[in-house]
Structures are given as structure tokens and as C-alpha cells.
Amino acid sequence: MEKKEFVMALDAGTGAARCFLIALDGNVSYEAYEEWQYEYPPEAQPGGAQFDPQQFWGIFARLIQRALKENNITAEQIVGASSTSQREGIVLLDSSGRELYAGPNIDMRAPANFPQIAQVYGEEIYQVSGHWPFPMFAPYRLLWFREHRPDIYQKIDCMLMLNDWVLYRLSGEKVSEPSNATETLLYDIKHHRWADHLIRHLELPEHIFPPVMPSGTQIGVVTRSASAETGLLPGTPVISGGADTQCALLGTGSINQGQVSTVIGTFAPSQMVLDEPLIDPFYRSWSGCHVVPEKWVVESTAMEAGQSFRWVRDVFYAGGDTKKYSLMDLEASNSPIGSRGVMAFIGPRVPDYRCLKFDVRGGFFFNLPPAPGSYSRADFARAVLESIAYGIRANVERLQRITGVKVKTLSICGGISKSIAFRGILANVMNITVRIPQYKEGSALGAALCAAVGCKRVSNYGEAVEQLVRWEVEVEPSADRVEAYEALYRQWLSFLPVVHGTIGLGEIV
């Protein structure tokens, strides 16, 4: 029997690494997964975080070997490899290709004068990159190194996004792609090029920004040294991938104008696909490039979704075991609509992109009923799932207002998309069809689709979606539940400015 061909995606997530393999007939997939930890150097505090690139690459090499061995797949069966990653993470290389620094998206180190970047250049940066300046973006870290570690700064020869760096370790090629280049603040999304004038404004070295090639482009092949580390064949095609959220759009089939997907993991970003770039004049969104060439995205995120559900797990379901999520889901299903009056305000909200705040913090507010003891932990679990659904609806409605496009179907992926209770809640809160794919790790699947396009096993992204994206279920809203949730959603919205200090209701509803 002829052996199946597979494409591979390496996913550098915020909390873990993943090696994902999918057969080109779309019927079989495998993955290997390992969590990782960051370092918090004292000299970079407050907010500084980084990782050991050798250690992280070692994790990827180990995952590739494990995925092949445990699933009885030979290296010859891998016809192409690509990558995806958390956005905003960067790696700095010296002229010999050695890593000087590697940092995740949670690295918030910034120079002493960091407020001036937004004050002086914020408007120009937003109009060019679609993002308002904030310390998690690359320029802040580069300027921090210039101010605090000139010994490192002076050696910088190239800056790569994390997905680019993973492919650099496979192929030796220093190349970027548009979807994550957008997350530097320094990429012109309308003209598909580095914004040289912004780089000069910030007095950054222009030579460190690598060539940019479209996602789904073969940039090189697996080198002999990478082959020895991973078990892949030397010469295996290496293909540019993309940022995790845009790859998740692709992995949930959102490639055409007006289609919307939400990735419900630690955060819950919703992105709409557009045929033309759009910059919101009221700064209510992020804009960027899709992994699909000549497509763009506009985004608004419900912020800490999975993080809030994890908090309930840790507080009410002692032990913090990931298996507790199944119990939480079951119990939440048995709590009635409205969670017996419990209303959660932990993480999900509508962000102000000019003043971002990240936390699931103490002093969260539950609109508890007056009689203690009339509710259980199941009600808290359901209340948080309902708040995530409310947050997603508020942000999708924001996208509708910005674009003028009515959303009729929402595709979701990520960890919480596995929750049976949540799927029904979301469909009824949104009053639209909610689609859930068979492969919940949409970012990894999207990167695998990039690999399939780049190694010419499919002719375009439409064919890749048709061939490799499988749907598990479509959940339809129920009229009586829609009506009940409409009132609850409006009540939740009315509390947002009080609890989170977010923008006013006039912008939200």
C-alpha cells in the first residue's frame, strides 16, 4: 500500500510548542506537544521576559522526532514544512546567525521615554501598520536594548519574528512574511514593504529587517544540520507560514471577504477577512495582512478568555488538572441560562487599543444573587463561559460597525471550542450559526495549509481549504434561548465601563 504524504507545521505558542502533521488527503493528523517556560531577567524588569533559543529549538527537534516515531511516519513522507507562532515575539541575530536575544509576546521591556513613541508617532504608525504603539511590539524592545544593553544592540544584524526564526533554524534562511511582520509596527500593510520612514523616525538600523515573501512561498530546504537534529530529510521544502491568528483563519476556512473566525485560547481575537486594507479612523481595531496573499484582516479581541476559564478551574476545581475542563463543561451544561444570576466580569471585554491592559485580576465582580448558597461552582463555570460569549459578540459587533459587513456565520477554534456547553451558549448569544472544525488547533492547521500550497501539492488556498479543513459540527441558535440571552447580554454590557473601565457603551452597542 502506498504511504500517505504529510505536511508539517511547527507552532510556537505562548505556552507551548507543537509539531502538527496532516496527511494531504485530510483524513489523518497527528501532533506532539510540550509546554515551555520563560526567563524573567532582573535587569529587564518590570515586564521583561525572554527564552533560551537553544532550549526552545531543542524542544521542537524533540517534538519532530517524537511525532514521526510514535506515528510510524518516515521522513520521506514529509513533503513540506512550515510554521506559525504567537504574534509580536522576536529573535535578534548577529552577523554569524547566532541568537543574541529571543523574546515572547509577553516581553514588555521598554525604554525610559516609551510614552513619547505613541505621543509623537502613534498616528503615523497606526495609519501605516494598522496597530497603535504599545510596549509588547518590537521597536520598544529594540530601543530598550539600545538604552540598556548597547553591547547586544550594536551586534544586531537581523530581526526575525518567531515563526520566521523557526524556519531559519530549519533552513538557514532569514526571511519574513507579511502577517507577522505587521506585528512589528514597522510594516506597511497597504504596500507590502517595510516602512523605512518609520524605521528612520525611530532611529533603528534599517539593515536588520529581512526580505519579506508571501506566506506559502518556499524559502529554502531543510539543511543537513537541521536534519541531524530533527530526523527530517535534508532537502525537504521549507515554506513561509504566518502569525497564529491569521493561520487560524486559514485553518477554519476564512479566506474570503466578510468571513470571520475567533480563536478562543488564552485570548479570544476575532478577525474578519477583507479584500482591501482598512484602517479604522476611531482606533477601535487592529488591521493587518492575512496569510492569504492580497487579503487583509481587521481584528478586535475579547481579551483574556481562556485565562478567565482557567482561573475558575484553579479556584473552584482544586488541582488545576487540564482534565478538570471536561468536568467543568459538564457541570456548566447543567446550570441554567444566566447561571442563576451569577454574572462574570473577569477577563472578556472590549479593548481600547490605545490603552491596552492585560490581566485577570483580583477584585473581579460577580453580580451574585442576594441569597448565598443558591448557586454552585457549576454556575460560576457557566457564568465565565457566558461572559466569553458576550465578549466575542461585542467585539464581532464592533467589526461589523467598522466594516459595514454583517456577520452571518462564525467559525471558532482553540481550546474552548471543545466545550459543548460553550458552543451552544455562543450560538444563542450571537444568534448566528457557529462552525467548529474537526481540527481545533487552527493555527497549526493553517500553517500546514501554507506548507501544502508552497510544496505545490495544492494549487491555491481555496483548494487547500477544500482538501484539508474538516468540520465537526455546526451549531444553530434556538429562538427562545436567543431571546433570553439578548437581555442578559445587554445587562453584561451595561456593567463593562464600571468593572473594566473600558470605552463607553455608545461605542459598543
Q: What is the pLDDT of residue 318?
A: 79
Residue 247 lies in a domain: no
The confidence band for 370, taking pLDDT boundaries of 50, 70 and 90, is: low
Q: Residues 172, 131: one domain?
A: yes
pLDDT mean over 416-425: 95
Q: Residues 256, 224: one domain?
A: no
Q: Residues 401, 462: one domain?
A: yes
Q: Residues 112, 154: one domain?
A: yes
Residue 64 lies in a domain: yes
Q: Residues 389, 508: one domain?
A: yes
Q: What is the pLDDT of residues 160-171, one digit of tens each?
A: 999 999 999 999
DSSP character at residue 5: P
Q: What is the pLDDT of residue 21?
A: 98
Residue 10 lies in a domain: yes
Rounded to the nearest angstrom, the gap between the alpha carbon of residue 288 and the centroid of all alpha carbons in its chain is 13
Q: How many domains does the chain have?
A: 2
Q: Residues 428, 403: one domain?
A: yes
Residue 1 lies in a domain: no
Q: What is the pLDDT of residue 360?
A: 46
Q: What is the pLDDT of residue 175?
A: 98
Answer with the one of 191, 217, 240 that is the final residue of a domain.
Answer: 240
pLDDT mean over 461-470: 96
First-last CA distance in the chain: 58
Q: What is the pLDDT of residues 240-291, one digit of tens each?
A: 999 999 999 999 999 999 999 999 988 899 999 999 999 999 999 999 999 9
Answer with the one of 178, 205, 240 that is the final residue of a domain.
Answer: 240
Q: What is the pLDDT of residue 193?
A: 97
Residue 362 pLDDT > 50: no
Q: How many other CB atoms are found less than 10 A from the CB of residue 97?
A: 12
Highest mean pLDDT among 2-16, 203-217, 320-334: 203-217
pLDDT mean over 129-135: 95
**Cα–Cα distance between 490 and 461 in angstroms, integer?**
39
Residue 457 lies in a domain: yes
Answer with the one of 240, 267, 295 that is the final residue of a domain.
Answer: 240
Beta bridge partners of 21: 8, 30
The domain of 363 spans 252-509
Q: Taking the alpha carbons of 174, 175, 179, 185 in that order, is the dihedral positive or negative? A: positive
Q: Residues 355, 478: one domain?
A: yes
Q: What is the pLDDT of residue 365?
A: 53
Residue 127 lies in a domain: yes
Q: What is the pLDDT of residue 368?
A: 65
Q: What is the pLDDT of residues 206-243, one digit of tens each?
A: 999 999 999 999 999 999 999 999 999 999 999 999 99
Q: What is the pLDDT of residues 139-151, one digit of tens each?
A: 999 999 999 999 9
Q: Residues 80, 146: one domain?
A: yes
Q: What is the pLDDT of residue 373?
A: 64
Q: Residues 286, 213: one domain?
A: no
Residue 245 lies in a domain: no
Residue 363 pLDDT > 50: no
Q: What is the pLDDT of residue 468?
A: 96
Q: Residues 277, 316: one domain?
A: yes
Q: Residues 258, 146: one domain?
A: no
Q: Residues 198, 260: one domain?
A: no
The three cell numbers of residue 74 are: 518516515
Residue 428 lies in a domain: yes
**Cα–Cα distance between 176 and 183 in angstroms, integer?**
12
pLDDT mean over 316-339: 86
Mean pLDDT of the residues in the chain: 93
CATH number, domain containing residue 212: 3.30.420.40
- Return contacts of 233-238, CB within 8 angstroms, 24+ apart: 233/75, 233/76, 233/78, 236/75, 236/78, 236/79, 236/80, 236/81, 237/79, 237/80, 237/81, 237/451, 237/454, 237/455, 238/80, 238/81, 238/82, 238/167, 238/170, 238/171, 238/173
